[in-house]
Structure 1
Amino acid sequence: MKTISSVVENYIKTKPFLQSALAQGIINLTSLSRIIGPEIEEQLGKEVRSGAVVMALKRLSSDMEFRATHKILKVLKNIGEITVRSSLTDYTFLLSDTILNSQASLLKEVNKNKDAFYTSSRGVNETNIVVSNALNTMVETLFREEKMTQKVEDLASITVKLPEENVVIPGIYYFIFQRLAWEGIILHEVISTTNEFTIIVGEGQIDKAFKVIKDLKNL
């Protein structure tokens, strides 16, 4: 049986930004109840008083605030080293029968330059390679037979070391990326390992992105 509380909760869960704003207590619940009231009534099939929706929102926001600020923030306060690199280029190539050979050749050259930045990710149809600008000529030479679909320069990276418990706490990446989105930061790439993640952003946004991530330790 549907209840006002369950319908309100399901509605809020479909609106990630609204969910986060509720958890932080920055929304006028009375105004919100008037806005979502018609949809709640439609799902319940009956008239619903605004006060009942407000009460459901209050209970939900209190519960969400606890969940958002307990386990997740405990992990974020223990964020480790944050490393920033600039002057990067992001290449996208279509997958082919020879692309692994091209990557192997590139890795041999990268190993000769310990100061160079290199990371890559592989999807179903394409692969991305992010390198220091100094390696651009090498990449374009070694991958000259591959189909390049995109090249973006003037990028920077932020690599964040997370505590080991990040793998058993749901919502950590959402919490981080939601705050980056709120600041209007465009993520060109996201690369992660078990206890690290790297975001690639435009050099013009690197200072703002770094501040957002650094401030997570003080929430």
Structure 2
Amino acid sequence: MRRKPSLVKIAQRLILSMPYIIEAMKLNIVNYSSLARLLKEDMERLSGRKLGEGSVKIAVLRAVKSLLEEYPPPERLSRALRGSELRVVEGLSVLSVAMHEGDKLLEGLSQVEKAKFVQFIQGFSAFTVVAEESVASELLSRVSSRNVLQYLREQAAIILTGPPDILVTPGVVSHLAMSLSSRGINLTEVLSSYRDVIFVVSRSDVGRAVEVIRNLLEVLERSAS
């Protein structure tokens, strides 16, 4: 018979499903009695038994201690983003096609000259190209319309180029993405290329997205001085 996970493991699973709680934990601003009350019903459901508030709180505290040991200290994240450069490329489109149309996209890309921005992503369900609108439009003409899964125009890429530490520091992309999502900004695509972290957003969200990231970088610079 398969054993049910311990209360600590259950608490860890629930906390990991709430990234905003994890960020608050890192800042040591969580009321753990309130967190235990929040998780109690789900912990009872997953454990299959009634639980007292005391046992839930103990499990939560042990789960938090274990989780915090896995995360890098805040100053390491600050160091990984400090001094980053920010650029914006507008006038982009995002084209996703069925897998068997990928060769046509590659052939089309090989004939593109002087494209200012092209990103090609191969997944398990689709090929996706992020490129300036003229390039994406040309590629679109090469594939059957029934195999076009997505074609989004009026997109923009926000490119953050960080120091070498950005390559080896966990949590950089998630920290940036959470900051953007907290402002209701949808990320069409999230890409990376060496020290570049690239967020593709709708052109209508560019101003707010740049403001969020610049504010984050300025706070990190001030905290370092």
TM-score, normalised to structure 1's length? 0.77
- Report SS of the residue matched to 1:169: coil
- Report SS of the residue matched to 1:34: helix
Q: Of the candidates 101, 105, 110, which is equivalent to residue 107 of structure 1?
A: 110
Q: What is the CA–CA distance in structure 2 between the aligned matches of 1:136 and 1:74, rounded to whole Å?
A: 37
Residues 14 and 137 (structure 1), Cα distance of their counterparts in 2 relative to 1, 3 Å cut: closer
AA of the residue aligned to 2:76: K
Q: What is the CA–CA distance in structure 2 between the aligned matches of 1:40 and 1:53, rounded to whole Å?
A: 13
Whether 2:20 is the aligned partner of 1:17: answer: yes
Identity level (%): 19
Q: What is the CA–CA distance in structure 2 between the aligned matches of 1:6 and 1:106, rounded to whole Å?
A: 48
- Report SS of the residue matched to 1:70: helix
- Report SS of the residue matched to 2:111: helix
Question: 1:24 deviation in Å?
Answer: 3.2
TM-score, normalised to structure 2's length? 0.75
Residues 52 and 128 (structure 1), Cα distance of their counterparts in 2 relative to 1, 3 Å cut: closer
Q: What is the CA–CA distance in structure 2 between the aligned matches of 1:102 and 1:7, rounded to whole Å?
A: 45
Report the equivalent of 2:223: none
Q: What is the CA–CA distance in structure 2 between the aligned matches of 1:191 and 1:75, rounded to whole Å?
A: 17
Runs (4+) of structure 1 moved beyond 6 Å?
A: 2-7
**Where do residues 43-82 of structure 1 align in structure 2 (5 Å cutoff)?**
47-49=52-54, 53=58, 56=61, 60=65, 67-79=72-84, 81-82=85-86
Residues 143 and 55 (structure 1), Cα distance of their counterparts in 2 relative to 1, 3 Å cut: closer
Deviations 1:164-217 (A, max 9, x none): 222322222222212122111111111212221211101111111112222232
Q: What is the CA–CA distance in structure 2 between the aligned matches of 1:211 and 1:136, rounded to whole Å?
A: 28
Please provide the CA RMSD for this pair.
3.5
- Confirm or deny: 8 A CA contact 1:41 1:47 kept in the other structure: no
Q: What is the CA–CA distance in structure 2 between the aligned matches of 1:77 and 1:162, rounded to whole Å?
A: 7
Q: What is the CA–CA distance in structure 2 between the aligned matches of 1:32 and 1:9, rounded to whole Å?
A: 12
- Confirm or deny: 8 A CA contact 2:11 2:59 kept in the other structure: no
Q: Of the candidates 87, 91, 99, which is equivalent to residue 91 of structure 2?
A: 87
Whether 2:124 is the aligned partner of 1:124: answer: yes
Unaligned 5+ segments in structure 2 are 221-225
Unaligned 5+ segments in structure 1 are none
